[in-house]
């Protein structure tokens, strides 16, 4: 299978890009597999202009017709899953089975927003003025802009595309230059399904240059970003000058709290393998393991055994359970975390080093007795490294869990209903999973609190993020 030809999509036309470009590297073998063209400043202006015209057309298209286009695109993507998943694995590294699951999820998201767009209801409000008619109506926000990270090349992209399109908005999307093929495949499917020109525009470039250009314009009325906390803060500042609405889906540092009344083997089966999904490069990845002292050794031993059994390799090879990290820079980060934790007294019980010297592979790693002072207990690892620490009381573990500025996901394992209820109430997080880690679905709100960002993707809240509220009052008609 050949890798996708990467082009820019501007006003319904696929372009080679006038702004230079960069190689795309397969992280499993460091081979160059393609080239991401960059948009020139003139092309970015063209995308802004096109998105204005695209918005006018799309907002005037009845939601039932928008849904039909989105459904058709879903079917086109479904028929092409094997090819797209293969390319996704080549550019990003995750096992091809995971890539297929990701695409299935993204297609669900597309269908869900297409349907939900038909239900962007307003309401009639009883008037004070006799005979008046008072209406609250929901209308699309306008042209939207979105910047997304590389870790979920399908889902990160689709949450923006489907949310905007379902609500009747147009979109300028900048996917990751490192993982562009999936976004391009989504763009081609949308076009084939009959999406009018200019409704979806896809550009690539030097991220800082593109985001300054697009956000510097008054045209986009919304910014939706998925990525790291520092970049999110930076983009929000850029958006402030023209007062764009923002949705910020940023990083996290998810505590996993394992109480001694839980079934440890079940907890390990549930959260242990989840840690190494996408090589830990997931914003809701479990990243700080707090285990009650009575079951601490049992948990560490079981986790260590499971980590050692994970089959690491090229995601295209049969049986691979964990692929490489996205790039060499992430290997350096893992090395730094492990060395620092060791220096501060932690013991590495599984992994702890790079694998081989070709491809960006890092061993599934478990570290026990990791003290709070170790950097990995407060900085997001975003890799396959799991620090474990023992705790004594519920109050202590709540304080530790809530002790960082992040607040995305939290996980609790207990068989005690009262504890589950207390933790659900007390944890400072946008998502809480009790006895299972599945906190993200198309129909449920997904998002963080505090420095993990704000605004939701998914659920009716996700559609609402692309809608604005208008009040209309009439008399004498
Ligand atoms: P990074 O912050 O450099 O890049 C993350 C993404 O943001 C990339 O896809 C990049 O293209 C984009 N980006 C960077 N600067 C930008 C700018 N000025 N304008 C627009 N887009 C910009 O980090 P990285 O080394 O690639 O990844 C590691 C860190 O990123 C982790 O610590 C993690 O917190 C974060 N991250 C978070 C998510 C998430 O889902 N929340 C996803 C990927 C990465």
DSSP 200-235: EEE--S-HHHHHHHHHHSSS--EEEEES-HHHHHHH
- pLDDT score at 477: 66
| Residues of the chain above pLDDT 70, percent | 100
Residue 292 CA to ligand 1 center (angstroms) comes to 34
- pLDDT score at 432: 98
- pTM exceeds cut of 0.85: yes
Rounded Cα gap, residues 180 and 177, in angstroms: 6
> Which residues does residue 254 pair with via DSSP β-bridges, in sequence order?
286
**2 in any annotated domain:** no
**406 in any annotated domain:** yes
**1 in any annotated domain:** no
Residue 230 CA to ligand 1 center (angstroms) comes to 9
pLDDT digits (tens, 9 = 90+) for 170-208: 999 999 999 999 999 999 999 999 999 999 999 999 999
Q: Tell me, yes or no, whether 230 and 322 share the same domain.
A: no
Q: Tell me, yes or no, whether 260 and 238 share the same domain.
A: no
Per-residue pLDDT band for 272 (boundaries 50, 70, 90) equals confident
Instruction: Give residue 241's Cα distance to chain centre.
Output: 26
**431 in any annotated domain:** yes
**127 in any annotated domain:** yes
Q: Tell me, yes or no, whether 424 and 392 share the same domain.
A: yes
By the 8 A CB rule, do 36 and 21 touch? Answer: yes
Which residues are within 8 A (CB) of 305 and not within 5 positions of it... i.e. 6 or more apart?
none
Q: Tell me, yes or no, whether 211 and 342 share the same domain.
A: no
Q: Tell me, yes or no, whether 272 and 136 share the same domain.
A: no
Q: Tell me, yes or no, whether 125 and 33 share the same domain.
A: yes
Q: Tell me, yes or no, whether 226 and 130 share the same domain.
A: yes
Q: Tell me, yes or no, whether 402 and 322 share the same domain.
A: yes
Q: Tell me, yes or no, whether 208 and 335 share the same domain.
A: no
Strand-strand pairing, 13-15 and 254-258:
unpaired
Q: Tell me, yes or no, whether 46 and 140 share the same domain.
A: yes
Ramachandran region, residue 382 (left: φ > 0; alpha: ψ -120 to 50; beta: rest): left
Mutate which of 228, 247, 379 for ligand 1 pocket (most atoms within 8 A of beta carbon): 228
pLDDT digits (tens, 9 = 90+) for 334-373: 999 999 999 999 999 999 999 999 999 999 999 999 999 9
Per-residue pLDDT band for 2 (boundaries 50, 70, 90) equals confident
Sequence-separated contacts (24+) of 127-136 with Cβ below 8 Å: 127/473, 129/473, 129/475, 131/475, 131/476, 132/473, 132/474, 132/475, 133/473, 133/474, 133/475, 133/477, 134/471, 134/472, 134/473, 135/471, 135/472, 135/473, 135/474, 136/469, 136/470, 136/471
In this prediction, residues 409-438 reach a mean pLDDT of 97
Per-residue pLDDT band for 476 (boundaries 50, 70, 90) equals confident
Q: Tell me, yes or no, whether 278 and 151 share the same domain.
A: no
The catalytic site residues sit at 249, 283
Instruction: Give residue 110's Cα distance to chain centre.
Output: 15
Per-residue pLDDT band for 273 (boundaries 50, 70, 90) equals confident
In this prediction, residues 15-43 reach a mean pLDDT of 98
Mutate which of 39, 149, 385 for ligand 1 pocket (most atoms within 8 A of beta carbon): 149
Atom of ligand 1 nearest to the CA of 148: 9
| CA-based torsion, 209, 212, 215, 216: positive or negative | negative
Q: Which domain holds residue 65?
A: 8-250+451-474
Atom of ligand 1 nearest to the CA of 228: 35
For the chain, give the number of residues.
Answer: 477
Rounded Cα gap, residues 420 and 435, in angstroms: 9
Check which CATH number belongs to the domain holding 149 and give it: 3.40.605.10
**3 in any annotated domain:** no
**446 in any annotated domain:** no
| Residues of the chain above pLDDT 90, percent | 99
Q: Tell me, yes or no, whether 152 and 51 share the same domain.
A: yes
pLDDT of 1 strictly over 90 = no
pLDDT digits (tens, 9 = 90+) for 130-147: 999 999 999 999 999 999
Rounded Cα gap, residues 293 and 289, in angstroms: 12
- pLDDT score at 387: 98
By the 8 A CB rule, do 28 and 324 touch? Answer: yes
Check which CATH number belongs to the domain holding 284 and give it: 3.40.309.10
Pocket lining for ligand 1, CB < 6 angstroms: 147, 149-151, 176, 207-208, 211, 226-228, 231, 234-235, 249-251, 283, 329, 380, 382
């Amino acid at each position: 299978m050949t890798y996708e030809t990467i082009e820019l999509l501007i006003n319904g036309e696929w372009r080679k890009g006038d702004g230079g470009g960069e190689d795309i590297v397969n992280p499993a073998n460091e081979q160059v597999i393609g080239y991401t063209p960059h948009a020139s400043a003139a092309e970015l202006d063209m995308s802004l202009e096109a998105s204005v015209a695209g918005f006018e057309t799309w907002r005037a298209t009845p939601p039932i017709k928008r849904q039909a286009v989105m459904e058709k695109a879903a079917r086109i993507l479904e028929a092409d899953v094997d090819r797209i998943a293969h390319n996704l694995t080549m550019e990003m590294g995750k096992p091809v089975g995971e890539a297929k699951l990701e695409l299935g999820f993204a297609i669900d998201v597309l269908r869900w927003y297409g349907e939900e767009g038909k239900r962007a209801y307003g309401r009639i409000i009883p008037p004070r003025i006799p005979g008046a008619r008072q209406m609250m109506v929901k209308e699309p926000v306008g042209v939207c802009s979105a910047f997304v990270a590389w870790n979920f090349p399908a889902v990160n992209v689709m949450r923006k595309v489907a949310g905007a399109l379902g609500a009747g908005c147009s979109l300028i999307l900048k996917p990751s230059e490192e993982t562009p093929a999936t976004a391009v495949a989504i763009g081609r499917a949308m076009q084939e399904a009959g999406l009018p020109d200019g409704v979806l525009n896809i550009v690539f470039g030097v991220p800082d240059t593109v985001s300054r250009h697009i956000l510097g314009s008054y045209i986009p009325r919304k910014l939706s970003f998925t990525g790291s906390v520092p970049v999110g803060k930076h983009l929000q500042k850029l958006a402030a000058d023209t007062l764009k609405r923002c949705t910020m889906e940023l990083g996290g540092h998810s505590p996993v709290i394992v109480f001694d009344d839980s079934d440890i083997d079940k907890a390990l089966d549930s959260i242990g393998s989840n840690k190494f999904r996408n090589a830990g490069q997931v914003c809701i990845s479990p990243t700080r393991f707090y285990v009650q002292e009575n079951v601490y050794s049992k948990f560490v031993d079981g986790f260590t055994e499971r980590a050692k059994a994970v089959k690491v390799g090229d995601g295209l090879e049969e049986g691979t359970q964990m692929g490489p990290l996205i790039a060499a820079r992430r290997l350096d980060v893992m090395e730094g975390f492990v060395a620092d934790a060791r220096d501060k007294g932690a013991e590495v019980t599984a992994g702890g080093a790079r694998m081989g010297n070709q491809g960006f592979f890092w061993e599934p790693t478990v570290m026990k007795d990791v003290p709070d002072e170790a950097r990995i207990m407060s900085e997001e690892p975003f890799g396959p490294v799991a620090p474990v620490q023992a705790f004594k009381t519920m109050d202590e573990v709540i304080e530790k869990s809530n002790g960082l500025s992040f607040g995305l996901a939290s996980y609790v394992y207990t068989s005690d209903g009262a504890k589950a209820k207390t933790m659900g109430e007390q944890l400072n997080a946008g998502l809480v999973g009790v006895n299972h880690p599945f906190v993200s679905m198309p129909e449920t709100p997904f998002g963080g609190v505090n420095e993990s960002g704000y605004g939701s993707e998914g659920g009716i809240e996700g559609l609402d993020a692309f809608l604005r509220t208008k009040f209309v009052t009439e008399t004498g008609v």
